[in-house]
Structure 1
């Protein structure tokens, strides 16, 4: 866990907090968490450019072997509910906007080494991975309502 000091030199505002993971600023916000478990997961917070911190009830829950930290993009970020039972996309107030709990997303590793990132929106769409009951993994593109854009395609990714 690092002691962080963010200083906005434009208006001379500062924010001081502890964080184990932090994202870059995007769309005026940075997400961070202070580690609460052995795998580096924890409760998410948002920091705006004025140094104001918003605490969320949702969490960053890393998958093994690696899970890229979520970023705030196009008004949403990917996280899980407090009990990690309901993954989805949240707005900057911490409200779930897209509920993805009907998809088995919890045991699929997202990592840059695999060319797969934690889900995020770009140009109104996000790519998600989910497994069916036979542990086959599918890649799907969703829009901001959570609807599929096209048909999900099977991919060669292992489920843990």
Structure 2
């Protein structure tokens, strides 16, 4: 009995240590801000702001409209794909696999309570996901810029 108890305690503490170590490094993969505007106004504001800042808008995808085209319904759901090759290239030079997450994207959604949200990939999560090394300054800049752009698009 004591052997089994000892083994059980060892397994418990080992699994708890592994779980704790894993969760300490886990980051939220998305940063989400509530918007004070309608979904369309939020998307329009974001697109206008990034164009004014010199970003390239590669695509704007209206999933709600696409759903309606196949006679399905979906709350407001729009994605804007945008970027700056000078910054994105620097990240890819640190780890080329980050290209799967570039260019950057923002997601604008409306929930069941008519609240509007703007979300984007957390650059620190991308660092962790792709084991990016040597690009901390670039990732910090991307984090700051995305936060600034998102706040400008969602607040009055």
TM-score by length of 2: 0.25
Larger radius of gyration: 2
Structure number with higher relative contact order (C-alpha < 8 Å, ≥ 6 residues apart): 2
Greater strand content? 1
